[in-house]
Structure 1
Amino acid sequence: MHVLNLVTNSQAPFFEQQVAAVCDRGVSTTTVAVAGDRRTTDEETSGRSVLDYGRFYARVLRRATESYDLVHANYGLTAPMALAQPRRPVVLSFWGSDLLGNVGRLSRWCARRADAVIVMSRAMADEVGTDCHVIPHGVDLDLFRPIPRRDAREAVGWERDGRQVLFPYAAKREMKDYPRAERVVEAVRARTDEPVALRTLHGVPHARMPLYLNAADALLLTSKSEGSPNSVKEAMACNLPVVATDVGDVAERLAGVDASHVCRSDEELRDGLIDVLERGEPSTGRAAVESLGLERMGERIRDVYESVI
């Protein structure tokens, strides 16, 4: 089986893991990415021009004449180009933000015309409004695993004392709502005598992410919208307590997980964060994500490929 992958960001760690997982199951792939200036971290406001996508479509058309079995469009903005080539069946995967705003209307229109649609959560499937395969991005359970906190803090250069709350994104990403995280942590500081630091991450190699997750006392996610956030699943694999807004499949993933909270208001986020910091215990998250390994994800995506050929 030979698959042509279309993608807006070929360096996204979860996309690289997806490709590796299906290749491990006997699928050969070629990736074509949209060229141009990617000036922001949000794909729908990437700064690429119509001309960039026009050139991308020309490359897709040329590639589609080769001996591929199907085209896999990753992210909604690549879907029109996949559907416009007349030769191969199309599998369309949504990443979350491509179901919002004007991009969302385009994505849903394309979903009705694709041969198969993959989403990361049941909530995303409801948003699409057509038949979907729900396949969350997998977690590298060998990479993301519990390690001693003292060793992790030494490796990342954090002080040993005090509480460390990890906001796992760049502060400027609007959809992640860093100002809300700041408000919540400030409210926590007002109710505790122990220092509480709020840490952000930007430009950290994916291979070093387990160090930061194990160095922290809690992961705080205040996103306005998500599909199936990898940061939550990776934190769970490290048994790091998670305090998060009720977005995407977070509530489903954290159901029954001890020392974690799914919240709606700032007050609930504050109280949940105080609870996990005062308890100082690891979560039981790893057991809950054992079924979300990369191998299982690769098998399920390959099954989708076979269904459309």
Structure 2
Amino acid sequence: MQSESLLDVSGLTKVYGNKGSLFVPRKEILAVNKVSFSINRGETFGLIGESGSGKTTIGRMVMRLIDATAGDIQYKGKSILSMKKGEMDKLRNEMQIIFQDSGSAFNPRKTIGEQILHPLNKFYPGNEAQIQYKKVIEMLDVVGLRSDFYHRYPHELSGGQRQRAGIARALIVKPKFLVLDEPVSALDVSVKAQIMNLLIELQKEFQLTYLFIAHNLDLVAYFCDRVAVLSKGKMIETAPTIDLFRKPQHEVTQKLLSSILTLDGDLGDYYRKQSVI
């Protein structure tokens, strides 16, 4: 059975630059150059590449956090780049993002519970306060946090706890698609493993689709169904994870993979060697 596409990106381009002036010459930087890919329902699609390759820029364009210079992004067959603000706001309950820095992702003056409650009130207004509170407590439990975390402030949580809270805030509106922008890169190894396994469990439970942005190839091998490799804003290779790790085609991909353990046997053997498990 052919998989159904959820997100389709075609010719996506982002140019940064200034307009120039009498004393400052005009300068443009091509951050993303005509990138195209599709993500099927229920799969985890990985974006990897060296620092500055355009991974995070693509993720933010997919979420319409920054505007694309050219190209198109279709979600369920509809172009999100042509949507007006009201249309895009309605879609945000289906498309959420989990950021790399869990510290800066939260308002330090509000409790964790208040911040998880905010998107719930925005997308599902009208429910009684007690009902909304109960939903937040239930979601805290889903991500492995006790109910008393509702009343805590971000600085009172560890990095792993804040990231769990960030996952709870994203999931509270029942999205179908999540952009995971290096969600565990700031965490230590043991906490990293816990969060990755949590994301896998949640994907199965809530039938989620992931765009996973990372530079850690161990995590990509463990987590992704398919992988695209970026270099200087261009997509240079895309393949199922097992094929990419066994037979990388591009020189840049080969160099990236040379930094990890040699693959002997099937990819399952490779997974079991990694510290993330």
| TM-score in same-fold range (> 0.5) | no
TM-score norm. by structure 2 comes to 0.29
Select the structure that is richer in strand: 2
TM-score norm. by structure 1 comes to 0.27
Higher relative CO (CA 8 A, sep ≥ 6), structure 1 or 2? 2
Select the structure that is richer in helix: 1
